[in-house]
A and B are shown apart, each in its own frame.
Chain A
Amino acid sequence: MTRLSGGLIDRSQALSFTFDGKRYEGLSGDTLASALLANDVRLMGRSFKYHRPRGVLSAGSEEPNALVELRSGAWQEPNTRATVVELFDGLEARSQNRWPSLGFDALAVNDLLAPFLTAGFYYKTFMWPKGFWEKLYEPAIRKAAGLGSLSMQPDPDAYDRGYLHCDLLVIGGGGAGLAAALTAARSGARVILADEDFRLGGRLLRETDTLDEVHASEWISAMEAEFESLPSVRIMRRTTVFGVYDHGIYGAVEQVSDHLPQPGDQVRQTLWRITAKRAVLAAGAIERPIAFADNDRPGIMLAGAMRSYANRWAVCPSETVAVFTNNDDGHRTARDLAAKGIQIAAVIDVRPEAKARGDYRLIAEGMVTGSRGRLGLTAIEVQADGKSEWINCGALGVSGGWNPNVHLASHHRGRPIWSDDLQAFLPGEGGPSGLLPAGATTGCFSTAAALRSGAETARRALQEIGVAARLPELPRAEEEGYKIAPIFHVQGRRRAWVDFQNDVTVKDIKLAHTENMRPVEHLKRYTTLGMATDQGKTANVTGLAVMAELTGRTIPETGTTIFRPPYAPVALSVLGGGDTGPHFRPRRLTPTHYWAEARGAVFVEAGQWMRAQYFPLAGETHWRQSVDREAMAARSGLGLCDVTTLGKIDVQGPHAGEFLNRLYSNMMATLKVGRIRYGLMLREDGFAYDDGTCARLAEDHYVVTTTTANAGLVFRNMEFARQCLWPELDVQLISTTDAWAQIAVAGPKSRALLARIVDGFDLSNEAFPFMACAALTVSGGLRARLFRISFSGELAYEIAVAARYGHALMERLMELGADLGATPYGTEALGVLRIEKGHAAGAELNGQTTANMLGFGSMVSQKKDSIGAVMSRREGLASDRHRLVGLQPVDPAGKVVSGSHLFAEDAPHSFDTDQGWITSACYSPHQGSMIGLGFLDKGDERLGEVIVAANPLEGESARLRVVPAHFVDPEGVRLRE
Chain B
Amino acid sequence: MLMPHPLLGLRDAREFSYLGDARLLDRPDPNAPDAEAAFCDYVFLRDNPAGVHRELWFHEQGDRSWLVVTRDTVTHEVLGAELARDVALARKGSGA
Do A725 and B88 touch (CB < 8 A)? yes
Residues in B neighbouring A246, C-beta threshold 8 A: 1-2, 76
Min distance, Cβ A352 to any Cβ of chain B, angstroms: 48
Contact digits for A674-687, partner B, Cβ 8 Å, 1 yes 0 no = 00000000001100
The answer for the CA separation of A639 and B39 in the assembled complex, in Å, is: 46
The answer for the CA separation of A727 and B78 in the assembled complex, in Å, is: 25
Residue among A249, A684, A712, A728 making CB contact with B92, cutoff 8 Å: A728
The answer for the CA separation of A412 and B1 in the assembled complex, in Å, is: 13
Residue among A433, A684, A712, A728 making CB contact with B89, cutoff 8 Å: A728
| CB-based closest 10 A-B pairs | A865-B30, A247-B2, A723-B85, A246-B1, A723-B66, A246-B76, A727-B85, A727-B88, A870-B39, A724-B84
Residues in A neighbouring B27, C-beta threshold 8 A: 684, 725
Chain A to chain B contacts (Cβ below 8 Å), 10 pairs: A247-B1, A249-B2, A684-B42, A685-B43, A685-B44, A720-B66, A723-B66, A727-B85, A870-B30, A870-B36
In the complex, which residues 49-94 of chain A have their Cβ closer than 8 Å to any Cβ of chain B? none
The answer for the CA separation of A125 and B57 in the assembled complex, in Å, is: 52
The answer for the CA separation of A870 and B29 in the assembled complex, in Å, is: 10
Residues in B neighbouring A409, C-beta threshold 8 A: none
How many of A's residues come within 8 Å of B, CB to CB? Answer: 25
In the complex, which residues 52-91 of chain B have their Cβ closer than 8 Å to any Cβ of chain A? 56, 58, 60, 64-66, 75-78, 83-85, 88-89
In the complex, which residues 861-884 of chain A have their Cβ closer than 8 Å to any Cβ of chain B? 865, 869-871, 873-874
In the complex, which residues 3-40 of chain B have their Cβ closer than 8 Å to any Cβ of chain A? 17, 19, 24-25, 27, 30-31, 35-36, 39-40
Chain B contacts to A: CB under 8 angstroms? 1-2, 17, 19, 24-25, 27, 30-31, 35-36, 39-40, 42-44, 56, 58, 60, 64-66, 75-78, 83-85, 88-89, 92
The answer for the CA separation of A529 and B31 in the assembled complex, in Å, is: 62
Do B31 and A865 touch (CB < 8 A)? yes
Residues in A neighbouring B43, C-beta threshold 8 A: 684-685, 871
Majority secondary structure of chain B interface residues (helix, strand, loop or mixed): mixed
Residues in A neighbouring B84, C-beta threshold 8 A: 723-724
Q: Is A716 an interface residue (CB 8 A)?
A: yes
Min distance, Cβ B93 to any Cβ of chain A, angstroms: 9
10 additional contacts (CB under 8 A) given A723-B66, A725-B88: A246-B2, A247-B1, A684-B39, A719-B64, A720-B66, A723-B84, A724-B25, A728-B92, A871-B36, A871-B43
Residue of A nearest to B2 (CB): A247
Residues in A neighbouring B30, C-beta threshold 8 A: 865, 869-870
Residues in B neighbouring A874, C-beta threshold 8 A: 36
Residue of B nearest to A733 (CB): B64
Could you say which of B27, B84, B85 has the most chain A C-beta atoms within 10 Å of its C-beta? Answer: B27
Do B39 and A871 touch (CB < 8 A)? yes
Contact digits for A235-256, partner B, Cβ 8 Å, 1 yes 0 no = 0000000000111110000000
Residues in A neighbouring B85, C-beta threshold 8 A: 723-724, 727
Do B89 and A873 touch (CB < 8 A)? no
Residue of B nearest to A722 (CB): B85
Q: Is A295 an interface residue (CB 8 A)?
A: no
Q: Is A275 an interface residue (CB 8 A)?
A: yes
Residues in A neighbouring B17, C-beta threshold 8 A: 716
Residue among A245, A723, A728, A871 making CB contact with B65, cutoff 8 Å: A723
Q: Given A247-B78, A865-B31, A869-B30, A275–B2 Cβ distance below 8 Å? A: yes
Residues in A neighbouring B35, C-beta threshold 8 A: 870
Residues in A neighbouring B24, C-beta threshold 8 A: 724
The answer for the CA separation of A248 and B2 in the assembled complex, in Å, is: 9
Contact digits for A821-854, partner B, Cβ 8 Å, 1 yes 0 no = 0000000000000000000000000000000000
The answer for the CA separation of A652 and B66 in the assembled complex, in Å, is: 19
Q: Given A433-B77, A724-B24, A724-B84, A716–B1 Cβ distance below 8 Å? A: no
Residue of B nearest to A275 (CB): B2
Q: Given A719-B66, A720-B19, A870-B36, A725–B25 Cβ distance below 8 Å? A: yes
Residues in A neighbouring B56, C-beta threshold 8 A: 720, 724
Do A716 and B78 touch (CB < 8 A)? no
The answer for the CA separation of A727 and B86 in the assembled complex, in Å, is: 8
Contact digits for A392-423, partner B, Cβ 8 Å, 1 yes 0 no = 00000000000000000000100000000000
Residues in A neighbouring B44, C-beta threshold 8 A: 685
Could you say which of A246, A727, A874 has the most chain B C-beta atoms within 10 Å of its C-beta? Answer: A727
Residue of B nearest to A867 (CB): B27
Residues in B neighbouring A684, C-beta threshold 8 A: 27, 39, 42-43
The answer for the CA separation of A646 and B65 in the assembled complex, in Å, is: 23
The answer for the CA separation of A31 and B53 in the assembled complex, in Å, is: 50
Residue among B36, B58, B77 making CB contact with A719, cutoff 8 Å: B58
The answer for the CA separation of A716 and B1 in the assembled complex, in Å, is: 21
Residues in A neighbouring B92, C-beta threshold 8 A: 727-728
Residues in A neighbouring B1, C-beta threshold 8 A: 245-247, 249
Residue of A nearest to B32 (CB): A870
The answer for the CA separation of A913 and B30 in the assembled complex, in Å, is: 37
The answer for the CA separation of A873 and B65 in the assembled complex, in Å, is: 32
Residue of A nearest to B78 (CB): A247
The answer for the CA separation of A263 and B77 in the assembled complex, in Å, is: 40
Residues in B neighbouring A720, C-beta threshold 8 A: 19, 56, 58, 66
The answer for the CA separation of A689 and B44 in the assembled complex, in Å, is: 17
Do B88 and A873 touch (CB < 8 A)? no
The answer for the CA separation of A821 and B25 in the assembled complex, in Å, is: 54
The answer for the CA separation of A245 and B1 in the assembled complex, in Å, is: 7
The answer for the CA separation of A870 and B41 in the assembled complex, in Å, is: 12
Min distance, Cβ B6 to any Cβ of chain A, angstroms: 13
Min distance, Cβ B19 to any Cβ of chain A, angstroms: 7
Contact digits for A702-734, partner B, Cβ 8 Å, 1 yes 0 no = 000000000010001001100111011000000
In the complex, which residues 256-304 of chain A have their Cβ closer than 8 Å to any Cβ of chain B? 275
Could you say which of A724, A725, A727, A873 has the most chain B C-beta atoms within 10 Å of its C-beta? Answer: A724
Min distance, Cβ B57 to any Cβ of chain A, angstroms: 11
The answer for the CA separation of A397 and B78 in the assembled complex, in Å, is: 49
Residues in B neighbouring A245, C-beta threshold 8 A: 1
Min distance, Cβ B74 to any Cβ of chain A, angstroms: 9
Residues in A neighbouring B42, C-beta threshold 8 A: 684
The answer for the CA separation of A354 and B30 in the assembled complex, in Å, is: 83
Residue of A nearest to B31 (CB): A865
Q: Given A246-B76, A719-B58, A865-B31, A727–B39 Cβ distance below 8 Å? A: no
Residues in A neighbouring B2, C-beta threshold 8 A: 246-249, 275
Do A716 and B60 touch (CB < 8 A)? yes
The answer for the CA separation of A460 and B92 in the assembled complex, in Å, is: 46
Q: Given A724-B84, A728-B89, A873–B66 Cβ distance below 8 Å? A: no
The answer for the CA separation of A911 and B62 in the assembled complex, in Å, is: 47
Residues in B neighbouring A716, C-beta threshold 8 A: 17, 58, 60
Residues in A neighbouring B83, C-beta threshold 8 A: 723
Residue of B nearest to A875 (CB): B36
Residues in B neighbouring A412, C-beta threshold 8 A: 75
Residue of A nearest to B86 (CB): A727
Min distance, Cβ A663 to any Cβ of chain B, angstroms: 13
Min distance, Cβ B44 to any Cβ of chain A, angstroms: 8
The answer for the CA separation of A412 and B89 in the assembled complex, in Å, is: 37
Residue of B nearest to A866 (CB): B30
Could you say which of A247, A249, A433 has the most chain B C-beta atoms within 10 Å of its C-beta? Answer: A247
Residues in A neighbouring B40, C-beta threshold 8 A: 871
Could you say which of A684, A728, A870 has the most chain B C-beta atoms within 10 Å of its C-beta? Answer: A870
Min distance, Cβ A868 to any Cβ of chain B, angstroms: 9
Residues in B neighbouring A728, C-beta threshold 8 A: 89, 92
Residue of A nearest to B22 (CB): A724
Q: Given A246-B76, A685-B43, A869-B30, A724–B89 Cβ distance below 8 Å? A: no
Do A724 and B78 touch (CB < 8 A)? no
Min distance, Cβ A247 to any Cβ of chain B, angstroms: 4
Min distance, Cβ B89 to any Cβ of chain A, angstroms: 5
Residue of A nearest to B24 (CB): A724
Do B36 and A724 touch (CB < 8 A)? no
Min distance, Cβ A42 to any Cβ of chain B, angstroms: 48
Do A727 and B36 touch (CB < 8 A)? no
Residues in B neighbouring A871, C-beta threshold 8 A: 36, 39-40, 43
